Amino acid sequence: MFNLLARFEKNRNFTEDEAWKIFKLVAFAEAFGWTCLISSILLSHYNLVNKNVAIPIAGQIHGTIFIAYFLVLFFTYPSLNWKRSTFILGLVAGITPYGSIIFEIIVNHYRQKTTIKNKAYLLIQRNSKIIVVQPSHGLEWQLPNIEVKTGQSSKKAAEELLKTMFGFNTNITESQRIIKDNSVQTYYKVSDPKDFFKINLFNISKKVPFIDEVEVVDVADIHLPFA
């Protein structure tokens, strides 16, 4: 049981930002469900609506939203780098009126103070050509990149991305590190990239979430922040 849960927690189905946006939306939706239920109880108490109609309908709305809240909480907490105890606290918060909003405010406050957005980028360049990706949430070409998990080295994350995308184990060296505000971007250069340019890049996007397309372009056609 716990082994299955541990394996599930290793799978990040969303980026941290995407998971947070989804959770925040459903947290406010859960508060709306409580508003519907409490309003129907008050209106029924003062005989302003038929309690046999209003309360069951509001209860059904609230119940449906709570199930959605639980499912979203369950499937996003690994991507949010939460501990299981935080997931349980979020679940308990959803049971209490407007608890999901209070929980969201507290967690967001902690998230903004402590979260360092650490990303590892792959610089796979041969002469004037470079391998780039187009993410599913944007239109611009960019270097292949991955969010670094808590406690993981950026080099290890870059090596795992390289292995997942191309199936290669090869040497990489740190090319550039950029620190800005609460963000660390580390760029790793592939030591011997010639074999990468022989690969059929068409099916690579199927191996890595959030990538629509992989392409070889001229280095002059993309923006490198350290160029």
Q: pLDDT tens across 160-200, in order?
A: 999 988 888 888 998 888 887 667 889 999 988 988 888 88
In the structure encoding, which two tokens stand for residue 63, read together? 């119940």
Lowest average pLDDT, out of 1-5, 15-19, 117-121, 172-176, goes to: 1-5
Q: What is the mean pLDDT of residues 144-152?
A: 82
More reliable by pLDDT, 68 or 114: 68
Q: How many CB atoms lie within 10 A of CB 110?
A: 11
Instruction: Please name the residues in contact with 59: beta carbons below 8 A apart, sequence gap of 6 or more.
Output: 37, 40
How far apart CA 175 and CA 121 sit, in angstroms, is 10
Q: What is the CA radius of gyration of the chain?
A: 23
Query: What pLDDT shows up at residue 135?
Result: 79
More reliable by pLDDT, 155 or 5: 155
Average pLDDT score, the chain:
86
Q: Taking 60 as the threshold, does the pLDDT of residue 227 lie above it? A: no
More reliable by pLDDT, 1 or 212: 212
How far apart CA 204 and CA 182 sit, in angstroms, is 31
Query: What pLDDT shows up at residue 1?
Result: 66
Q: What is the mean pLDDT of residues 34-50?
A: 90
Lowest average pLDDT, out of 113-117, 134-138, 190-194, goes to: 113-117
Q: Taking 90 as the threshold, does the pLDDT of residue 8 lie above it? A: no
What's the burial of 204, exposed, middle or buried (CB within 10 Å: 0-12/13-18/19+)? buried
List the beta strands (DSSP E) in the chain. 117-123, 125-126, 129-135, 145-147, 172-180, 183-190, 211-218
